[in-house]
Amino acid sequence: MRDLANNIAPVSTIDAIVGNNDTEGTGTGVDLQFFESAVALVNVGASGDTLSSSVKIDLILQDSDDDSSWSAVTDQNLVTDGTVDSSGIFATIDADGEDESVYYIGYVGGKRYLRVFADFTGTHTNGCPISATIIKGHPRHNVNADNNSSY
């Protein structure tokens, strides 16, 4: 099929929260089995705190073979439509105008699991609305639109 809905499977990695610490910002692993690519999409709302170099959120892409041991994706050859630094950071929200945005990065690596880690630095007293979704793409088989899984 040519429509997009039958060729992707979106899965939440960070449910919508008003986050203020790393525990809340640790995404759950998304299984990429049967898919050849993925996009990590992070939706950031208006921060309740004044963002700066000492009060910020770093968005980090992480992958894993076993959904247990996680590593930052630091190889530029494993990402598309963006860059990662030596810590796996693909975006930093540390100033007015950088919140209330959508951030994304493509993943073409070979690990089975993928997640986003929102690293909160400094004191986020009021928090920041944030959610993250992994959109799995290029399925090896058709995607079942009823339950977003391959069959």
Query: Please, what are the domains in the chain?
Result: 4-141 (2.60.120)
- pLDDT at site 149: 52
Digit-by-digit pLDDT tens for the chain (151 residues) are 567 887 899 999 999 999 888 777 899 999 999 999 999 999 999 999 999 999 999 999 999 999 999 999 999 999 999 999 999 999 999 998 999 999 999 999 999 999 999 999 999 999 999 999 999 998 887 655 445 554 3
Number of helices (H), then strands (E), belonging to the chain: the values are 0, 12
- pLDDT at site 41: 98
The angle formed by the CA atoms of residues 38, 110 and 24, to the nearest 5 degrees, is: 55
Using DSSP's 3-state secondary structure scheme, residue 7 falls into helix
- pLDDT at site 148: 52
Distance (Å, rounded) from C-alpha 18 to C-alpha 142? 35
Using DSSP's 3-state secondary structure scheme, residue 4 falls into helix
How is residue 65 written in tokens?
A: 């073979």
